[in-house]
Chains A and B, each alone.
Chain A
């Protein structure tokens, strides 16, 4: 599905990510965990084109995506959400969704200006898909609202919705439950399970061990920019290197 091959990122003399490789299999939830500053977000940014890797490659199937611009990577079926909840907060919920669907349509300058039959079709198609995905993430009733009126959890759901609306093959979620309380985290966890049931591959970064252990099919652990372990939740729980990385203590699972 998505493979990362020897990905390395250097900022000046500092190596944020060193020689990280893994393969994400279709239909699984793959988690990347690690202490703060382990290079998780840098890794994500390289996978989505926001940062250029110093070394190494990223493939989606046979197609190399590293070095491409973010909008080109999205068009190859890789959608993402940002760590800080990132939305178009001057616009309505439905607008946010339609913007994210736009690349799937032929809505350009000329057919918008001339209102061609294609424009009508695409415009309706964008609206339909936006509403469908809003229903999926549980925000159908909020479609007309402005972003600041949504709760933290609703904003996270919308961010996930934005990633899902263009029907990606894989979604990369950077801390989808950051800043949420336990109940809200549980609801987002169920949403991610629902995404997996739809056959969409999920790759996520998280801090919350308990959530990851119950949700992920496989886990990769980063520490100081290097991958120190990869495996099923049970294998990770008993991995000596991982236990040491987390302050030499045990993992609370």
Chain B
């Protein structure tokens, strides 16, 4: 339907190759770890973009679902269940919780929906900190096994103990997520998400079951967030309530807004750029937040579609300028 111009395709190809070759040129283990985390955050942020950016429902429970995935994998793998079973099971649990939360929460609209989901997020965070028998309380869970090696027909056994292997595992999930989201969004089905964001009464009047459509977007986003959380738990080897907190939600939200809301690439760019900027601003300590606060205000006012939206506008201006030049 929407075909991208050739230079955009080439840019994506270059990015893809750069991502594949990253372990060759990454300066040190510390930065590598930040990159791996960014990949996981990019998965969760892309999913958040589905419900917030494309469907227009400001779900602030995203961190909680990331946490459900993380704690799910932590508890199940510590009980001796294989990571490859624990991960989908945890994501399915998150999806089920998403249905149970979504059915009442999606009856509210606008900021009421944001408040309801934020409340759920805070409840999950408190639960993670206080249900000591299950979650280990504020200390969390330690010693979570790393993803179990998989045996593939031709490639032999693949282990996930090195950073490089974990990076490729995370990258694989990110690409899978983007592939799935791309299919969903650039289709008539995906248009119904945007129809709801744009004009819900009209969507209803043209035969779209708006409630079910919103629920599908919400649950899909939660499922993917939990996948990212499960990978996170297994790769870090420990989870604490901060992996399920609303602060995490707001981090994702900042990634989406600064990167570019309702654009597939924006969520990914935001999830990569901001942790790296954060690293560079390390010397500012907590004053970093002041910087981000100001940045957020500027972006929302002048670049409502974030970095990607800004770039697109620039691209259009250049196109117009070129056209004028040719006609002169």
Contact = CB atoms under 8 A, between A and B. Distances in A.
Partners in one complex: yes
Interface of A: 48, 50, 69-71, 74-75, 79-80, 82, 86-91, 95, 98-105, 107-109, 112-113, 115, 119, 122-123, 126, 162, 166
A87 B188 contact: no
B183 A113 contact: yes
Contacts of A70: 201, 204-205
A80 B205 contact: yes
A79 B209 CA distance: 15
A122 B206 CA distance: 17
Contact of B206 (A91, A109, A162): A162
B205 A88 contact: no
A71 B202 contact: no
A74 B187 contact: no
Nearest to B179: A113
Interface in B156-188: 180, 183-184, 187-188
A107 B209 CA distance: 13
B299 interface: no
Contacts of A107: 187-189
A161 to B, nearest CB: 11
Contacts of B180: 113
Given A50-B201, A74-B206, A109-B184, 10 more contacts: A71-B204, A71-B207, A71-B208, A74-B207, A89-B198, A95-B191, A98-B191, A99-B206, A102-B188, A102-B208
Given A112-B183, A112-B184, A90 B198 contact: yes
Given A88-B198, A91-B194, A109-B189, A115 B183 contact: yes
Given A87-B199, A112-B184, A69 B191 contact: no
Contacts, number: 98
Most buried by B among A101, A112, A122: A112
A163 B180 CA distance: 31
Contacts of B198: 88-91
Contacts of B184: 109, 112-113
A112 B202 contact: no
A82 B205 contact: yes
A86 B207 CA distance: 15
Nearest to A70: B204
A110 to B, nearest CB: 10
A105 B207 CA distance: 11
A95 B183 CA distance: 16
B203 interface: yes
Contact of A109 (B205, B207, B216): B216
A90 B194 contact: yes
B220 to A, nearest CB: 8
Nearest to B262: A90
B99 to A, nearest CB: 13
A109 B192 CA distance: 11
A87 B208 contact: no
